[in-house]
Chain A
């Protein structure tokens, strides 16, 4: 089977977030089964639909293609891994710090709002920090495979709240998982998203 779509590598070794609250096993299953599984399925779809080949996953998302769920989950997961880092955590830096303080009042306020969104999301989905059309930072939620870009929102940070994202390490304790997420947030990546133009 020709591989049109590929699984981007993890930005760090699978065990690098273990000391910060995301075990090697959690990441291994999440990346090698779930994320990889979406890529495998999208390639299977591309076998039957040659017009998919040569498209990017973002093309398929924007087009609301029949493969939206697969394409969006591939994109969302890639973004998620990049939002985490073994050197991450702590307080926001640079432009992220400024924008968070301007639009939320403080990091603590943003953290609470984001954590409530992530913790409170019912069913499968994603919590996001996005820039809206006026470049204001806002907390946003998407359900299932939802991606914010077609709605004119620019994602700068995400946390996966599908149960598969935390069940190995935290079982039902989603709040504890979301709490640990803050230990690993890659503010350099957040800053890079703020600096990049919209897709």
Chain B
């Protein structure tokens, strides 16, 4: 098996008290995220040249398996963006750069939430690092900022499968709860 599903960074029920239930995470990780890995391995069966590639290679090459590779990468990044110890205010360099780029955390939060909430169809909201500035960015479907040589530091999955079990149509409420779990240590590690 060429491609593997990285483990979740925490137990599947770890975010339940902060707004992402065990069932929501279980389906998202074990059906959707795992499903992409299964499909990419199936593709590698018929295309042996894929077998010694990394996910990032397939994304940057805009390979035929882009959608699968990018979704695998995006979801792994997403899980790492969240933590049971997360939430609250940004710390360290993240705090500095957010204030420098947006004025304050509240302003960044508003812009990011509007991007996430307003995204039409399936996609992702991102915070990306562009030189010494942070910017809010959206990608559609499987879009991964790596393909545009952008440096992601935070993401929120806004495909309906990311929130439908816990929030049904109420995407805004899901995005609100996302801020309870943001792993600022991980964000800082990306800066």
Residues of A within 8 A of B (CB): 29, 33-34, 37, 69, 122-124, 143-145, 162-164, 167-168, 171-172
Contacts and interface: CB of A to CB of B under 8 A. Distances in A.
B169 interface: yes
A32 to B, nearest CB: 9
Contact of B168 (A33, A144, A162): A33
B27 A171 contact: yes
A124 B161 contact: no
A163 B160 CA distance: 6
A162 B120 contact: no
A104 B23 CA distance: 41
A26 to B, nearest CB: 10
B122 interface: yes
A167 B31 contact: no
Contact of B161 (A34, A37, A122, A167): A167
Contacts of B122: 123-124, 163
B78 interface: no
Interface in B52-88: 67
Contacts of A168: 164, 168
B67 A164 contact: no
B131 interface: no
Contact of A34 (B121, B142, B169): B169
Contacts of A123: 121-122, 140-142, 159
Interface residues of B, number: 18
B159 A144 contact: no
A122 B165 CA distance: 20
B32 interface: yes
Contacts of B31: 171-172
B27 A162 contact: no
B21 to A, nearest CB: 13
A164 B27 contact: no
B67 A172 contact: no
Nearest to A28: B168
A80 to B, nearest CB: 16
Nearest to A173: B31
A172 B160 contact: no
A189 B141 CA distance: 32
A124 B140 CA distance: 10
Interface in B161-187: 161, 164-165, 168-169
A76 to B, nearest CB: 13
B117 interface: no
A111 B122 CA distance: 26
Q: Which 6 A-B pairs have the closest CB atoms?
A: A163-B160, A33-B169, A172-B31, A123-B141, A144-B121, A167-B164
Contacts of A34: 169
Contacts of B121: 123-124, 143-145, 162
Given A33-B169, A167-B165, A172-B35, A122 B142 contact: yes
